[in-house]
Amino acid sequence: MAARTSIAVNDRESTPVAHTFVPVGSDDNLAMFAEKGVVPLADRKLTVSWKFNGPRKRVRIVLSDPKVVTETINGVDVTKVPHRNFADVTFTFDEASSEQERMNVVGMFANALAASVSPLNETLTGLEEIW
């Protein structure tokens, strides 16, 4: 069983910034992590859930990234979240798959998200259609 520890990931800024998600809660088959923002509404959240019943083993990872702005209303600074961006991925493995097969699928998927991979990067980040 994997320990619930902090998860650090870099963004794609010109000078990458490390974002550390710390454990904030758990439930049966669910682990929650957050990178604290200026107010709880501004927290980045990462959740991992799993379902290992039957022949299919599923792991779902969801990242919630709020856009945070501060507005001054009548001289008072108010933090607002005008929108959120989400990434939601589910891996489904057959119970007969080997650990190496699962590692290969995870590795290929992770590498498919690299900035150098066209046309996926242009579709995901540039919101361009594939023709």
What does the chain come to in residues?
A: 131
Do 40 and 103 lie in one domain? The reply is no
Instruction: List per-residue pLDDT tens for the chain, 131 residues long.
Output: 678 899 999 999 999 999 999 999 888 899 999 999 888 888 999 999 999 988 999 999 999 999 999 999 999 998 889 999 999 999 999 999 999 999 999 999 999 999 899 899 999 999 999 88
State residue 69's pLDDT score: 92
Residue 79 to residues 34, 36, 47, 122, Cα–Cα distance (Å): 18, 14, 24, 31
Task: Judge whether 20 and 43 are in contact, CB under 8 Å.
Answer: no
Do 14 and 66 lie in one domain? The reply is yes
Do 69 and 129 lie in one domain? The reply is no
CATH of the domain at 60: 3.30.380.10
Angle 51-55-58 (CA atoms, 0-180°, nearest 5)?
30
Q: Which residues pair with 63 in a beta bridge?
A: 46, 87
Do 19 and 80 lie in one domain? The reply is yes
In a domain? residue 85: yes
Do 92 and 102 lie in one domain? The reply is no
